[in-house]
Amino acid sequence: MKKLLAMLLCFAMVSALVPAMADGGTYTVFYGSEVSTLNYLVTSTTWDQSMAANIVDCLVEYNNLGQIIPSLAESWEVSEDGLVWTFHLRQGVKWYDCFGEEKAEVTANDFVAAMKYILTPEYESAVASQVYSAKIVNAEAYYNGEVTDFAEVGVKAVDDYTLVYTLSAPVPYFLSATTYVTFLPAYGPLLEELGADFGLDNQSLYYCGAYILETFEPQSEHLLVKNQNYWDAEHVYIEAIHRLYNAESATLAPVAALRGEVDSADIDNDILDDWLTNHPELVTKGRADLQYSYFYCFDFVPQYEEEYDPANWVKAVNNKNFRLSIMAAFDRVYSLTAEDAENPESLLANVITPPAFASVGDTDYVNLPAFDAAKAKYYSGDNTAAIAYKEAAIAELTEAGATFPVKVVLTYKSSDANWANQVQLVKSQLEGVLGTDYIDVVLYAGPSDNFLSSTRRAGKYSIMRCNWGADYADPETWTDPFAAGNSYNFMDKMLDSEYAETVADLNTYYAMVEAAKAEVSDMDARYQLFAKAEAFLIENAFVIPYRTETADYMVTKIDAFEGEYASFGVCNLKYKFQHLQDDFITAEENAASFAAWQEALNN
């Protein structure tokens, strides 16, 4: 009966809210695939986390310039040795249920309970290993059952408002790590009660963030309504977010936007031309998400079919001049038109670490002088360098017994239209510069499901676009794909091979990485060392950096540059701080706010 009453109350509230929302307060969008769970403690997909980011707050968050600001923690301090982080929580922040009823206060115990939940194997959290990478004492040991008492894990509630994390090694980027789902709080008694059923629907979790998920109908709609009692309610401007499910939203949402059914829609690359012709004033560009990086790998242990002659490829790829000839011939901007037809240069990355990820003094990591030599080796508009490398490679490889043309297996995902277009451009461009008597690029289609298992991880490629996302906000995270035992280019398998040149280069590289990892006190020196190692990898063409994450073209009523800006964590996904305009933002306004944002960023 009580539940029924609550439901009725809920309906009454919704109907009371509807007229209030009509004055431009509801932001309506289509979404194309359903979240798989609301349980933010177990999921690792960005889309699932986009819900969490708006309904639960982190210890700290970011402003739109990427600076860390207090959120649930009002202040914090770190011990001298960098091993103990103490957070002082904001008092009076409450948990609410989906009907907006106050349930309890958010205390330090809720952070401890949530972490315990993540580290309990039974709940199959996909993000447990992110707790280890933040170097929380005994986290991995507890997960693996080597430590059975959770009290021994490095997270403690000293009192209701004091939370202490103990680390096994200094983690300079710890503060940013707390903005990932692994450090979000969850009401302890509720976790205890529901166990695996936590987050089954919108009634089986509590809310302490800017929004409350009032309606959650999978494959139908989500209605996020502003939490009127939110501690920072004055910075939440959009009254409600109404997400409507449509599996064909990529095709239908732009039409729906023109008809006024939605307030925002992505303009995919394939229809961009048409929109720029017919509605140029409405096409705006969002803010690039810099948490991912894309790069072309050379496979040192190819496992594909004999017909593509993997043995010949092994000879070729271990020749530095051969790799450099491909790097020097590779006009990356040309093939990037498959992903951003309008402004391909804006995606180009010359370094694996994305821009704005780290900086030394005032210099962005990607602009450090260490990378200058590497940058000189890219395609520069003329083919002379590529031809020189090619001739050197032909001479050396002929002696080594390789045959020409070398078959280059270029692997891609067949169901990804942009990627398929891209590899066709790469093939055409590389063969155009280097000649089909030198290389024969074979396009190799991978399946749409279990793609990585059957392509990259199985070594079924010669060169392939790979990607990696940051696990934490330190350049070390970008060395992981090339570490020993990687499933990317398998180059470490060459360490005891007959190819002296490769072996020497690899030894140099791994030594450089070790040196960088050992530097934990002086951050500038640490970053410089990582930059040197990364530059070495690029200069010797073990990998060719390709692009950053794309910034979506869209037609929208909210200004992307108002939102939180972070190179790591879930804060980018918050609607907080953003305003909903009455009309679509014009291209001019978009350009102006981008310029203003850039300006502010640089000051």
Partner 1 sequence: MLKYLLKRFARSLLTLFLILTIVFILVRQMPIEGYFPNFEKMTQEQIDNGLHQMGLDQPMIVQLGQFYWNLLHGDLGVSRVYNRGKPVWDILKTKIPISVQLGSLSILFSMLVGLPMGVIMAKRKGKLADHLGTGFIVLIQAVPAAVYYLFIQLYGTELLGLKLRFEPENWVSWLLPILSLSLGNIAYYAMWLRRYMVDESTKDYIMLARIKGASDGRIMYHHIFRNAFVPMAQYLPTSFLNTVVGSIYIESLWSIKGMGGLLVDVVHKQDNNMILGIVLLFACVGILGLMLGDLLMVLFDPRISIVKKAGED
Partner 2 sequence: MSLWKHAKLDKLEKDAGDALREALSEEQLFSVAPFHEEDVEITGSSDYSYWRSTLRAFRHNRVAMALLILLAAILLFTFIQPLLPGQFDPTAIANGPNGLPLKNQPADGVHWLGTNAIGQDLWARVWAGTRNSLIIGISVALLEAFVGILMGVLWGYVRQLDFLFTELYNIIDNVPTTIVLILVSFLMRPGMGTIIFAMSITGWIGMARFVRNQVLIIRDRDYNIASRTLGTSTWRIILRNLLPYLVSVIMLRMALSIPGAIGSEVFITYIGLGLPIEICSLGNLINEGRKLMMSPSLRYQLIYPTIILSIVTVSFYIIGNAFSDAADPRNHV
Q: Residue 337 Cβ, how far from partner 2 at the closest point, in Å?
A: 6
DSSP 243-304: EEE-TTHHHHHHHHHHTTS-SEEE--HHHHHHHHHH-GGG-EE-PPPTTEEEEEEEPSS--S
Q: Residue 271 Cβ, how far from partner 2 at the closest point, in Å?
A: 5
Q: Where does this chain touch partner 1 (CB under 8 A) — which range of 17-25, 172-180, 232-240, 245-253?
A: 245-253
578 phi and psi, to 5 degrees?
-95, 145
Cα–Cα distance for residue pair 14/223, rounded to 1 Å: 10
- Interaction of residue 32 with partner 2, rule CB under 8 A: no
Binding mask 124-143 for partner 2 (x = CB under 8 A): --------------------
List, in sequence order, every beta strand (DSSP E) within 388-434: 406-413
Closer residue to partner 2, CB minimum distance, 304 or 565: 304
Q: Spell out the residues 6+ positions from residue 299 whose beta carbon is closer than 8 angstroms to its own.
A: 313, 317, 459, 461, 462, 463, 464, 489, 490
- Interaction of residue 126 with partner 1, rule CB under 8 A: yes
- What residues numbered 136-165 form the site for partner 1, per CB under 8 A? 143-144
List, in sequence order, every beta strand (DSSP E) within 439-494: 439-446, 463-469
301 by Cβ neighbours in 10 Å (0-12 / 13-18 / 19+) ranks as middle
Specify the residue for token string 């021994």: 152
- Interaction of residue 448 with partner 2, rule CB under 8 A: yes
Which residues make beta-bridge pairs with 216? 222
- What residues numbered 391-430 form the site for partner 2, per CB under 8 A? 414-415, 417, 420-421, 423-425, 428
341 binds, among partner 2, partner 1, none (CB under 5 to 8 A by kind): partner 2
Angle between helices 320-329 and 310-317 (to 10 degrees): 90
Q: Spell out the residues 6+ positions from residue 367 whose beta carbon is closer than 8 angstroms to its own.
A: none
172 binds, among partner 2, partner 1, none (CB under 5 to 8 A by kind): none
Q: Residue 523 Cβ, how far from partner 1 at the closest point, in Å?
A: 25
Closer residue to partner 2, CB minimum distance, 372 or 437: 437
Cα–Cα distance for residue pair 49/38, rounded to 1 Å: 8
- Interaction of residue 124 with partner 1, rule CB under 8 A: yes
Q: Residue 274 Cβ, how far from partner 2 at the closest point, in Å?
A: 3
Closer residue to partner 1, CB minimum distance, 129 or 359: 129
Angle between helices 523-539 and 500-518 (to 10 degrees): 170
- Interface residue with partner 1 among 10, 147, 244, 523 (CB under 8 A) is 244
- Interaction of residue 307 with partner 2, rule CB under 8 A: no
247 binds, among partner 2, partner 1, none (CB under 5 to 8 A by kind): partner 1
Closer residue to partner 1, CB minimum distance, 197 or 583: 197
Q: Where does this chain touch partner 2 (CB under 8 A) — which range of 85-93, 108-116, 310-318, 329-337?
A: 329-337
Cα–Cα distance for residue pair 287/62, rounded to 1 Å: 15
| Contact status, residue 412 vs residue 420, Cβ threshold 8 Å | yes
- Interface residue with partner 1 among 99, 150, 245, 404 (CB under 8 A) is 245
| Contact status, residue 259 vs residue 275, Cβ threshold 8 Å | no
Q: Where does this chain touch partner 1 (CB under 8 A) — which range of 38-46, 270-278, 303-311, 562-570?
A: 38-46
Q: What is the DSSP letter of 468?
A: E
Binding mask 208-237 for partner 1 (x = CB under 8 A): ---------xxxx-----------------
Both tokens of residue 586?
């014009």
Cα–Cα distance for residue pair 213/203, rounded to 1 Å: 9
Q: Residue 216 Cβ, how far from partner 1 at the closest point, in Å?
A: 10
Distances (CA, A) of 399 to 318, 383, 536: 13, 24, 27
Count Cβ atoms below 10 Å from residue 303 Cβ, excluding itself.
12
- Interaction of residue 454 with partner 1, rule CB under 8 A: yes
Q: Can you tell me whether residue 466 is helix, strand or coil? A: strand
- What residues numbered 217-276 form the site for partner 2, per CB under 8 A? 250-251, 254-255, 268-271, 273-275
Positions in the binding site for partner 1 (CB under 8 A): 34, 36-37, 39, 42-45, 121-122, 124, 126-130, 132, 143-144, 196-197, 199-201, 217-220, 244-248, 251-252, 255-256, 259, 261, 448-450, 452-454, 457, 471
Positions in the binding site for partner 2 (CB under 8 A): 250-251, 254-255, 268-271, 273-275, 277-278, 333-334, 337-338, 341, 344, 414-415, 417, 420-421, 423-425, 428, 443-450, 454
